[in-house]
Structure 1
């Protein structure tokens, strides 16, 4: 055999012959060079789809393979076996009946259209979570110190949350203490829009490294009506925990807009999204075993269910309760009378901290049923944001919005500076909008649009200073070129 002879290797009877040059093989006796089938690699990139329920393998689980590339999930297969076993006719007898012909699997390709291919999702990193240890739970003052780095103000709210969370996870870690069962520390947060209720909960879950589910109470309805079932809040938590039931049972559920499910006072129809939802949530708040779907938001015949115990899930409810101040004011002004030491009826008209005087009776009058309030033992309020707090929110937190823009321009090697007077002007504009900290982003996005558009045009720009005049529209930012300062008006 010469040096340039070739060996023909038949990998498969159905495949073409492939030639291997002996010059590419160091020792033909020890190595055999084969070429992988690229078609198989392409097929591995796609998920298998159930022929009956059309669910992909990532949702339905492991598939059973049949001839002609037909795949069926285990749920459909089991239901098919159950249906066949419950049939009154004996299938064995039908095999010998003349004129009866069973379906041939090879004929299915021509009967049904080709199933769409679904690409496989990239596997997430399998991070192993440590079991909750009482020694590793941070003390309340340490939790508050971490919250201070992200949340400005709201000292009482941060203190109350830190203590409640610390006590709750001590209860979860120990399960019981000298046979004395510790009750859950569910919370109710009351505060105006944009004061930081959702941001507080998000920051808390991030610091504690526990799964968090945020849901809106306005979408919840009584079972059987259009909308989300009450158990859907638990299924969202299970999804946030990567379908790990044990980890989900130590998570946090934040239900926002809880004031929207208050009992309707003037309604002759059935209150399916108010009092009924409150009553349905009682078992979740106190602790019960709930069957929730895995990999879906609603229950149906094709989705497997799993049981989640809500005994150790921390529920935090939040709402603005817009008309609650009027109820508090009405209660307080009832004490007014005539004569010496009498309280004036307009005494509480200008009280900006009136919401902090809330009582359980006020919440009951607002429309929350007593059983629901009783399962939220920790009630605290958040203050509305004033001008000074808005200025601090702009620049002090770790992820302050000004720091975000400074980092964006730093990537273009441009230094961004905000005058103190400019920050005050932004805070004043936000106060006029009356939407809390949410207004800050909208205002900054508006005046930073032109700057973010123009800066990349000129490589000579080294620094931009935002002034009060630019915010108010009477001037422009100060642009400094590299090595010189040039004031420029817009």
Structure 2
């Protein structure tokens, strides 16, 4: 137990209400903690006795109890609120909305089964879905009650073309276990102390605001880490844009090193259980890899799989940053087959989405096989990744959605190859 808490308890020995509140907090935590449960109940009983010798002896006995250390901030918060005459009214998010606590739920499954599910969501990225399946399993192991050692999370560096599912896979994976995830674009970041948005501001997104009130109706707010925040995910997109911003690269190092960030207002953030995923296009990285390998062949899907720390340093990362990633996760350009599957087969495919739109308006919307292939080919010729499919589908259906009656017969609308080509040409 920290010295500060011991001092606070000592100064509050004459405050019977404070002792009762601390005892209540301990009893509540004893019902949710496996380790040290009996010891916390014993301490609560000693505090309730209002006998200075009883509760001081209890504190001394529990000096080395790890389970109690994790409750120190909550007990100190309870004590401070009582001493100031404030009562906790509510919890808010940083933007003033009511906070609803979330629960992180470990997955009881194998990486292989998780990958099978992820492959139905993100198409054509078998290497990436395998890496994320293993990452989710690691998080579940860290949260497991059977884990008795500190399992450190791996930092992920995700790279590949735009529109191939990098961000979508990361958010799909974290949602599977209810992991709090904060996304930020590296292009929006400024150096710490510069007055702009920096990494401290990003980590504050894992916080909530405690709102206290006293009998006079006065309110006081203070920051607190929200439930599950120490098992969260920080997703930094467009990390490749930092190639010429070495100061920002240095600012990221303490997070990747599992350090402690001071966030202000007396709040610090321990990143030791934070799953950090950085993502970027890294245009030209394939050529850097080929040059290192002295491979004159045209880059293929296996080129990015051979990326090393050295290649990212050559790209523009400082060596200290490049060596702090344990998992290099390449994403491949989408093939024609993968694009067709995204358009037609996935649970949230674009075809299903547009069929739902038309169904709401009372129409059965169909696209014949040749027309679907024409949309895929147009997408490959005019855009990068799955975004081209979205552009093509919007262009093809915009006029039909505006006046479906012109195209439908008996409530059925069928797009043909000639219709698609006529609209997209």
Query: Do the structures match in fold with TM over 0.5?
Result: yes
In the alignment, structure 1 residue 202 sits paired with structure 2 residue 168:
no
RMSD: 3.1
Rounded Cα–Cα distance in structure 2 between residues aligned with 1:433 and 1:226: 41
Asked if the contact 1:168/1:184 (under 8 Å) is kept, the reply is yes
Rounded Cα–Cα distance in structure 2 between residues aligned with 1:475 and 1:289: 54
Q: How does 1:42-441 map to 2 (within 5 A)?
A: 126=100, 129=103, 136-173=107-144, 177=148, 181-225=150-194, 227-238=196-207, 244-262=225-243, 264=244, 274-292=245-263, 304=265, 306-333=267-294, 347-349=296-298, 351=300, 353-441=302-390
TM-score by length of 1: 0.60
Q: Deviations over 1:79-115 (max 9, x none)?
A: xxxxxxxxxxxxxxxxxxxxxxxxxxxxxxxxxxxxx
Identify, as 1 or 2, the structure richer in helix: 2
Asked if the contact 1:245/1:308 (under 8 Å) is kept, the reply is no
Asked if the contact 1:348/1:354 (under 8 Å) is kept, the reply is no
- How many angstroms does 1:158 deviate by? 0.3
- How many angstroms does 1:400 deviate by? 1.0
Asked if the contact 2:259/2:271 (under 8 Å) is kept, the reply is yes
What SS does the aligned partner of 2:272 have? helix
What SS does the aligned partner of 1:213 have? strand
Unaligned runs of 5+ residues in structure 1 are 1-73, 79-119, 265-273, 293-298, 334-344, 477-490
In structure 2, relative to structure 1, the CA distance for the partners of 1:375 and 1:137 (3 Å cut) is farther
- How many angstroms does 1:149 deviate by? 2.6
Rounded Cα–Cα distance in structure 2 between residues aligned with 1:170 and 1:199: 23
- How many angstroms does 1:391 deviate by? 0.7
In structure 2, relative to structure 1, the CA distance for the partners of 1:237 and 1:138 (3 Å cut) is farther
In structure 2, relative to structure 1, the CA distance for the partners of 1:376 and 1:122 (3 Å cut) is closer
Rounded Cα–Cα distance in structure 2 between residues aligned with 1:374 and 1:174: 31
Unaligned runs of 5+ residues in structure 2 are 1-80, 86-94, 210-222
In structure 2, relative to structure 1, the CA distance for the partners of 1:414 and 1:474 (3 Å cut) is closer
In structure 2, relative to structure 1, the CA distance for the partners of 1:352 and 1:183 (3 Å cut) is closer
Q: Deviations over 1:270-291 (max 9, x none)?
A: xxxx111111111112222323
What SS does the aligned partner of 1:331 have? helix
Asked if the contact 1:165/1:185 (under 8 Å) is kept, the reply is no
Aligned residue pairs total: 321
Rounded Cα–Cα distance in structure 1 between residues aligned with 2:184 and 2:123: 24
What SS does the aligned partner of 1:231 have? helix
Q: What residue in structure 1 maps to residue 3 of structure 2? A: none
- How many angstroms does 1:349 deviate by? 2.5
In structure 2, relative to structure 1, the CA distance for the partners of 1:474 and 1:208 (3 Å cut) is closer
Q: How does 1:22-37 map to 2 (within 5 A)?
A: none
Asked if the contact 1:421/1:467 (under 8 Å) is kept, the reply is yes
Q: Deviations over 1:413-432 (max 9, x none)?
A: 21111112111111111112
Rounded Cα–Cα distance in structure 1 between residues aligned with 2:336 and 2:207: 40
In structure 2, relative to structure 1, the CA distance for the partners of 1:277 and 1:371 (3 Å cut) is same
- How many angstroms does 1:458 deviate by? 8.9
Q: Deviations over 1:158-196 (max 9, x none)?
A: 01111122113312445963x5x4332111111111111
TM-score by length of 2: 0.68
